[in-house]
Chain A
Amino acid sequence: MLLEKEMKLADVIHHDYNLIPVINRFGIMLGFGDSSIENICQEKQINQDFFLTILNAFHDPQYLDKDSQQNFSATLLIDYLQQTHNYYLQNKIPEIECLINEMETKAEVDKASYDILRKFFEEYKTELIKHIEREEKRVYPYVIELEKAVINNTIPPSLLSRIKEYSITSYEDEHESVEEKLKDLKNIIIKYLPPSEKQQSRYKLLKELTVLEKDLNDHANIEDLILVPKVELLEKHVTGK
């Protein structure tokens, strides 16, 4: 289903509760009554086109296959992506760590297995942080500078040489190894962690990992299918090709 500005946000959330973290990232709190997407965007001064693009991209990944000319800046998109990173690092990861600790404390047998699991997650976390830092320190500042140059129509020579040596096209898909680790982790919990009577925290953990996995996938899709094409356009504009 295509989500449109006339729809009530409440109906949209009823229809797909996966969108809750997304509206949260836009600073929309629950309790918005019967307001339409359009009204909420006006009230909160959210760029409506951008909000709808992100909602639709999360709701149905196929949405990004159609090439629509989007009416928002790369800087806005980056601001959003950074907030998503914060959400992972400040909310999701600690939540998951908490669940693993809980499992480990409650366990009566096989304590060693949980310890192994925790170490594996720590390794995953380190890798995720490294990946996020690379994006925030190298990729995003480059894009912001690029967009500024296009708007001001002044291109610093340093930027030109940077495009030559590092363009967004070389922003190759690094997500993969991070993704694989998360998949492995789920499989280990489902298939290989020794069974125990205390299943509740295990279910919770699995659910959280699945939610995180979906969110990361959608995040990566937005980067690959919205950010990269946008930046490629900017690069062409600057180099005049």
Chain B
Amino acid sequence: MSKTKKVVVVSDAFLLSAGVENLVLELSGMLVDHVFNGSERKLCEKIISKKPEFVIIDPKSVSDKLLPMLRELDEEKDIKIIGLISQGLSQNIISKFSYTLNIQDNKFQLVEALQKIVGNRDQEIIGNEQLLSKRETEILRELALGLTNQEVADKLFLSVHTVMTHRKKITRKLGIKTVSGLTVYALMNNLVDIREVERQV
């Protein structure tokens, strides 16, 4: 699993921020870390200290402080700023945001829009999902037969650290963590033979 992406919301309206939190949860690997009120003092400082990947701002909640705030946040290269567009907002303000979400949109439009802004997540995992490398298969086989990390390392002339790294990758790809679970997987996929396993037990 990839690292969770942090989102910070700036909004005074509870219903709006609750809605944004819900929307963010629709995308896996993202969560709202904090909701700030637009009128809070030292708002930019507080936002930046949270080290978020995304800041979602309701421009109405910051009113006249919006422009200096956007200027300050723009300095932070790692933060993407998303504006919430609602009725009656001037074109001038809308144009200040590089990314926007329209609060009048329906759920699927919003999810799609946010997904586009966030970018294609986990591409690397989706690409070679499930497919174990040759080395990983080899290690899985030994683990399924009941060998410990140390024993696998000795047998395959690897360091324990390497074996553990491979093991983490195997678990991530298969979604199976326990040794017995790995054994079941190996058996079902004919990576090991039931008699081999029983001999070990």
Which chain A residues have a beta carbon within 8 Å of chain B's beta carbons? 112-113, 116-117, 120, 123-124, 177, 180-181, 183-185, 187-188, 191-194
Contact = CB atoms under 8 A, between A and B. Distances in A.
Nearest to B181: A184
Contacts of B175: 183-184, 187, 191
Given A123-B180, A181-B181, A187 B188 contact: no
B187 interface: yes
A184 B180 contact: yes
Say what secondary structure dominates the interface of chain A: helix
Contacts of B194: 112, 116
Interface string B168-201: 0000001111101101110111000010000000
Given A112-B194, A116-B194, A184 B177 contact: yes
Say what secondary structure dominates the interface of chain B: helix
Interface of B: 174-178, 180-181, 183-185, 187-189, 194
Contact of B176 (A113, A116, A123, A188): A188
B92 to A, nearest CB: 42
Contacts of A124: 180
Given A184-B176, A187-B174, A188-B176, A116 B181 contact: no
B172 to A, nearest CB: 12
A20 to B, nearest CB: 27
B177 A192 contact: no
A25 to B, nearest CB: 29
Nearest to A191: B175
Nearest to A113: B188
Contacts of B188: 113, 116, 188, 192-194
Contacts, number: 50
8 nearest CB pairs, A to B: A184-B181, A187-B175, A184-B176, A180-B177, A116-B187, A120-B184, A180-B178, A181-B178
B178 A184 contact: yes
A81 B178 CA distance: 27
Contacts of A123: 180
B178 A117 contact: no
A78 B189 CA distance: 44
Nearest to B197: A116
B180 A192 contact: no
Contacts of A193: 188
A123 B181 CA distance: 10
Contacts of B178: 177, 180-181, 184
19 contacts: A112-B194, A113-B187, A113-B188, A116-B194, A117-B184, A120-B180, A120-B181, A124-B180, A181-B180, A183-B177, A184-B177, A184-B178, A185-B181, A187-B176, A187-B181, A188-B184, A188-B185, A192-B189, A194-B188
Contacts of B181: 120, 180-181, 184-185, 187-188
A181 B185 CA distance: 13
Contacts of A180: 177-178, 181
